[in-house]
Amino acid sequence: GKSAAISISDNNHLIVRAFARAFKYRKMYEKCGDYKSIAKMENTSESSVYRHLKLAYMHPDTVNAIMSGTLQCSVDKLFHIS
């Protein structure tokens, strides 16, 4: 398929949203312990919840480096390094 160019600002916004969703899912997961239930509650796929949970448990130094811009990455790369 076609790949659209994405601005740095848009990429940063997507990364922040991905981490926000990841930490939301982590909080839910720590309460219920079941990613399948989260997927149903959030009306999303189980694989999406699982990928975001991997982000939520990423090493804090890596998260800080990404959020500060020290470690540049796209949203796709973000999910690959988690």
Domain count, the chain: 1
CB within 8 Å of 5: residues ≥ 6 apart:
none
Rounded to the nearest angstrom, the gap between the alpha carbon of residue 79 and the centroid of all alpha carbons in its chain is: 7
* Residue 30: DSSP 8-state: H
- The answer to the question of residue 42 being in a domain is yes
- The answer to the question of residue 2 being in a domain is no
- The answer to the question of residue 65 being in a domain is yes
pLDDT, one tens digit per residue, over 2-20 is 556 667 788 889 999 999 9
- Residues making up the chain, counted from first to last: 82
C-beta separation of 46 from 77 below 8 A:
no
Whether residue 1 is predicted with pLDDT greater than 60 in this model: the reply is no
Instruction: Calculate mean pLDDT across residues 44-70.
Output: 95
Question: What band does 81 get if pLDDT is binned at 50, 70 and 90?
Answer: confident
- The answer to the question of residue 3 being in a domain is no
pLDDT, one tens digit per residue, over 24-37 is 999 999 999 999 99
Two tokens at 58? 């990423």
More confident of the two residues 39 and 8: 39
Domain that holds residue 43: 8-81
pTM tops 0.85:
no
- The answer to the question of residue 33 being in a domain is yes
- The answer to the question of residue 16 being in a domain is yes
**pLDDT the model gives residue 69:** 87
- The answer to the question of residue 37 being in a domain is yes
- The answer to the question of residue 60 being in a domain is yes
